[in-house]
Structure formats: structure tokens, C-alpha cells
Amino acid sequence: MILIRTTLVALQQANQTGNYSVLRGLTAPEFQKSNSAEKLAQSFASLRAKNFDLSGVVVLDPQLTVLPEIYSNGVMRFAGFFPSVPMQVLFEMQFFPVNGQWRLVALAVDVAGSAPAAPVNATPNPALASSYTPTPAPKSSHSPTPAKAASASTATASPSPTPSPTIPEVEVRTRKRAASTPKP
């Protein structure tokens, strides 16, 4: 729950100030290499344009629609929503451990009407997480064991057609709500 809240608060602060450098700083090193703060600002422009205050997530408990799952490559993925009224915050996140801390490698967030619904068709592709192969990070004098970093490519607004097993992609997108009836 802490990962969910801190990530969404960082996104709220980035949207509020227009400065995405702190949000970028919470991501895995390889993701940072491929995604500037300016690129993150572009990725979240439609969410920012909705002018919805995400900070309410600090007092609500999220409802998970995808329970936390750790893939064999170490990526942890989960999704859900905050049951707020009149709008709900929908999210999906993926993290990878770097130097003993979970670092963000994929994020999809949107706000929608208060009828609970799992995110549909605009989530980070689980195949990307399951095909992800960590690469060693440069050795740090602060860490007694070699650290692992996430490999990432450019943030995209839509999923790539076929993820490569040797060069996995990480996506940062805002969610689009499907026009279908929500399922319990």
C-alpha cells in the first residue's frame, strides 16, 4: 500500500508543479536513462489536463483488482482503484528491486466515474514484465552485492506489438476507461 500511495502522491505533485524529476527519480535506473522528466510530462499530459487531485489516496484504502504478483524475473505487478466519489483513481504499477528498494518500471493511472471497474486494455502489458530480464547495474561502493537494474526503452502511449525477450520495454501510460459495463 505504501508503494501505491507514494507513487500516486509523487505523480500528483508532478502534475501539480509540472516538474516530473522526482517521479522520474523513483524509477529504475534504466528507465531513467530512456525517459526524461519532459517525456514523463508528455506521457501524463491527459491526466494532468483533467485537473483531478490525486492526493485523496492517502486517506483511502485501495481495492486491488490484480493482486501483487512477482514474476520469475523479479518484477512485481499489481492493479486496482481507490473507491472515491464522484471519481475513482484507477492504477496499475510494476516495480523491480534495485539496491533493496522497489523501483518503478511501469505506471498507468487514470480517473473515472465511481462505478468500480478493473482497468481495461490500457494497462501495462503483463507480458512485458514476465519477459523482462534484469541487467546488472554498475557496482556501487555503497552496496556489498551487485545491484540489478531494470532495462527500459522509451515510454510509449500504446503497447508495443511484440516485446523482445532481450530488450524488454517498459510503458508509462495513462489509462483509458472502456465503455463496457463494470464487472464485479
pLDDT digits (tens, 9 = 90+) for 129-161: 555 555 444 443 333 322 222 333 333 332 233
Identify whether the C-beta of residue 43 lies closer than 8 Å to the C-beta of residue 172. Answer: yes
Instruction: Assign 94 a pLDDT band (cuts: 50, 70, 90).
Output: very high
Cell of 175: 489509462
pLDDT for the residue 134: 52
Separation of alpha carbons 18 and 21, rounded Å: 9
pLDDT digits (tens, 9 = 90+) for 21-42: 999 999 999 899 999 999 999 9
pTM for this structure?
0.65
Cβ-proximal residues to 100 (8 Å cutoff; 6+ apart), any chain:
none
Separation of alpha carbons 138 and 146, rounded Å: 8
Q: What ranges do the domains of the chain cover?
A: 2-174
157: left (phi over 0), alpha (psi -120 to 50) or beta: alpha
